[in-house]
Structure 1
Amino acid sequence: MEEHQARIIAHHTDVLSVVTSLQRLDEHEWRTPVKLGGWTVAEVIAHFIPWDDFVLQKRLPYLFSQHLLPKGPEREGINSRAAERGRCIAQRDIIADFTNIRTNLLQSIQYIHETDWNRPIFIGDTELTVSAYFIGLAEHDRHHLEEIRAVVKLPNR
């Protein structure tokens, strides 16, 4: 297994474990903003779901094809709809939805051939490798998990 692939798989496995551990939060903790005027823990976790779905549906199928990658969704719109969902949906349902989609993403990543991790891809005019793309997504996850760690106790990973 390619080194970056192993790191990304370990990252997603850890994120699944951390988010699953959020089931122990009471309603107050689950609805606590991660920073002043910011999203709540619930909204942060809810916003991962449509982005994971986007990667599964609109990135992975195109990474190794001759087709151009589909244009990304409008970030503010997808984030705002996801945050609204985080405010309205039960904690167990948000965590279950996240777990399902992230598990599907993890399984798909495991099938990427080790020689493809250094393959260049283009997102718009930006050239990067498959590895760099997934490392960027992992950095996004870590940023939000650090925000959550600031307000609730999470397992150290």
Structure 2
Amino acid sequence: MQREKSEIIEHHQNFLLFLQRMKTLDECLLRKPIGERKWSIIEIVGHFYPWDEFVLQHRIPYLLAGKSLPKAPSAEDFNIHSSFIARTETIEKTFEKCIRIREDLLNQLNQIPEEKWLIKLQIKDSTLTLYEYLKGLMEHDIHHINQMKFTLNKVDEE
């Protein structure tokens, strides 16, 4: 497997392992905001699901077919709605949805032929490869993973 594809696949596999470990944590810890005016860990987890679903349905198929991309939803509206759902549904349901959709995404990424990963794609005013697009999403995941780990480390120190 080429380096670019394996990097993204490995990230998603590790992300799924991280979620599996997180779902065993105490509910009070998962629902506590990570800082002043910040989401809780479960809200962070909950916001991955709709974005993964959006990427699966409205990005990857279009990018691979070389078609124009549908307009993205308002990130703020999307995130407000997803955080509300994560606050109101059970912890188990939020993790279940997030893990399921990430597994679906991983399966789809595994099926993309290696030659498609480095083809230049036009996204709005930018030209980038599928790998570069997915790497940007990976970096977003890592940002939130680091937030959650930092929060959990603070709790361990208390």
**What are the within-5 Å matches in structure 2 for residues 15-26 of structure 1?**
15-26=15-26
Asked if 1 retains the 8 angstrom alpha-carbon contact of 2:52 and 2:102, the reply is yes
Write out per-residue CA displacement over residues 37-84 of structure 1, whole angstroms, 9 at most, x where no aligned residue.
100001000000000000000011111214211111111010000000
Asked if residue 56 in structure 1 is aligned to residue 50 in structure 2, the reply is no
What is the rounded CA distance, in whole Å, between the counterparts of 2:79 and 2:2 in structure 1?
Answer: 32
- Could you list the runs of 4 or more consecutive aligned residues of structure 1 that deviate by over 4 angstroms after TM superposition? none
Calculate the TM-score normalised by the size of structure 2.
Answer: 0.93
Aligned pair count?
153
Moved more, 72-81 or 58-67: 58-67
**What are the within-5 Å matches in structure 2 for residues 112-131 of structure 1?**
112-131=112-131
Give the residue type in structure 2 aligned to 1:16: L
Higher RCO (CA 8 Å, separation ≥ 6 residues)? 1
Name the structure 1 match of 2:110.
110
The alignment yields a C-alpha RMSD, in angstroms, of 1.0
Name the structure 2 match of 1:99.
99
What is the rounded CA distance, in whole Å, between the counterparts of 2:66 and 2:47 in structure 1?
Answer: 30
What is the rounded CA distance, in whole Å, between the counterparts of 1:23 and 1:106 in structure 2?
Answer: 19
The verdict on how the C-alpha distance between 1:58 and 1:129 changes in structure 2, with shifts beyond 3 A counting, is same
What is the rounded CA distance, in whole Å, between the counterparts of 1:112 and 1:35 in structure 2?
Answer: 39
Give the residue type in structure 2 aligned to 1:145: I
What is the rounded CA distance, in whole Å, between the counterparts of 1:66 and 1:48 in structure 2?
Answer: 25
Name the structure 1 match of 2:137.
137
Asked if 1 retains the 8 angstrom alpha-carbon contact of 2:43 and 2:82, the reply is yes
Paired residue secondary structure (1:64): helix
In terms of fraction of residues, the more helix-rich structure is 2
Shift of the alpha carbon at 1:92? 0.6
Asked if residue 29 in structure 1 is aligned to residue 13 in structure 2, the reply is no
Calculate the TM-score normalised by the size of structure 1.
Answer: 0.94
Name the structure 1 match of 2:79.
79
What is the rounded CA distance, in whole Å, between the counterparts of 1:71 and 1:124 in structure 2?
Answer: 10
Shift of the alpha carbon at 1:122? 1.8
Paired residue secondary structure (1:128): strand
Asked if 2 retains the 8 angstrom alpha-carbon contact of 1:12 and 1:106, the reply is yes
What percentage of aligned pairs have identical amino acids? 34
Paired residue secondary structure (2:36): coil
Asked if residue 45 in structure 1 is aligned to residue 53 in structure 2, the reply is no
Give unpaired runs (5+ residues) of structure 1: none
Write out per-residue CA displacement over residues 2-32 of structure 1, whole angstroms, 9 at most, x where no aligned residue.
2111010000000001011112111111112
